Amino acid sequence: MKRERKYVIILLHLSFINSFLNAQGQVFTDINWPDVIFKGSHIQLNYSTFACFKSRVKEETGNYPVSTRASLGLVFGCKYQVNINNRHSLMVGPEAIFLGRNFYVDFNKNDFSPPLIRDYNIGSGNSYLTVLTLSLPVLFERRWFYKRDDYIFGNSGVRINFSTGADFDIFPIVLTDTNNRFVNVGGVDVYANNDAKPWLSFPISVGNSWLLKNNNLLQLAICANISFTKYVNGKYQVVIPGKPITTGNYSSTGSFIGLSLNYCFTNANYRIRKVIEKR
C-alpha cells in the first residue's frame, strides 16, 4: 500500500508539472512581445567607433603640400528611453565623444642645410590628436518590426556639445639635423573648444535590434553626426629653407560616420511576471 501510495503521489506531481508547463506555454504564446517590451522605459548603454571626417586645410601663402585624412574616434554614452508606444520613443542621455584629427606633411632631408638625419613623414602616427567632447543628445526613434522579436530602427535629433579642448592648442613640428640640432619647421596652432562656447550637431542612426533570451535588446547601427560648426579652428605653417613660407587655415567640425553597439535594459521580465500572475 505504501509503495502504491508513493507512485500515486509521483504521478500527481508529474501531472501538475505538465499542466503548469502547458499553462506557461499558453501564456507566453498569447503575449504580444512589443506590448510587453515597450510598455515601460529603457536604459540604454552605447558604444560607437567612427571615422571623423578629415580636417579642412586651406592654403593662403606658399605651395608646400600638406593634407589631412579621416581619423579614429569613439563614443561612450548612456540614454534614458521613454517609449511612447510600440513604434516611437524619445531618448536623452550624456555622452563622452573622443574626436580625432591629424596633419600630414613630408620633409626631404636634403632640403635643409645641414641635412636632416633622415626623411620625415608626419602623419597619423605622430600627429594624431583627440579632443574630449561632452554631449547631450535628444533623439526621436521610429521602429519597423519584421519579426515578432526583431525590428529595424532609425533615430535622429539634436546634440548639444561642449569641448574640453584648450583655448590655444599647439602642435609644433621639430626635426633633427645631422649636427644634432633641433629645427622648427612649423606646425598647427588652433583653438579646440569653439571659443569655450557650446554648439549644436545633428546625430542620425539606422540599425537592427534583436530581442535576447533575457528580454533585453542588443542593437547594431550605422551612426553619423553632422556638424557645421568649426569647433577646431586656426592656422598651419610650414617653413623650408630657401622656399616661401607656406601658411593656411586649419579647421574641423567633428562630423563623423561609424558603427554603434547598444545594449538596452528593458525590465520586461518584471512585466511578463505580472502578466502571468494575473492569468
Domain residue ranges in the chain: 31-278
In the predicted model, is pLDDT for residue 262 greater than 50?
Answer: yes
Checking if the pLDDT of 3 tops 60, the result is: no
Distances (CA, A) of 128 to 65, 108, 132, 169, 238: 18, 21, 14, 13, 18
Question: Which of 256, 263, 252, 254 lies closest to 223, judged by CA?
Answer: 256
**Residue 129 near residue 100, CB atoms below 8 Å:** yes
Q: What is the C-alpha separation between 158 and 109, in angstroms, rounded?
A: 48
Other residues' Cβ atoms within 10 Å of the Cβ of residue 170: 10
pTM as predicted? 0.84
CB-neighbour burial class of residue 261 (10 A; exposed 0-12, middle 13-18, buried 19+): middle
Residue 36 has what pLDDT?
84
Q: What is the mean pLDDT of the chain?
A: 89
pLDDT of residue 267: 87
Q: Are 211 and 78 in contact, with CB atoms under 8 Å apart? A: no
Task: Mention the CATH class of domain 31-278.
Answer: mainly beta
**pLDDT at residue 62, as a whole number:** 94
pLDDT at 11 over 80: no
Residue 172: pLDDT over 80: yes
Mean pLDDT, residues 214-228: 96
- Residue of 275, 151, 276 lying closest to 220 (CA atoms): 151
Tally the residues of the chain. 279
- Going by the DSSP 8-state scheme, the letter that residue 123 receives in this structure is S
The answer to whether the CB of 162 falls within 8 A of the CB of 135 is: yes
pLDDT digits (tens, 9 = 90+) for 62-105: 999 999 999 999 999 999 999 999 999 999 999 999 999 999 99
In single-letter form, the type of residue at position 200 comes to L
Lowest mean pLDDT among 77-86, 104-113, 130-139, 261-270: 261-270
Quick one: pLDDT at residue 273?
73
Note the pLDDT of residue 163: 97
> Is pLDDT above 90 for 193?
yes
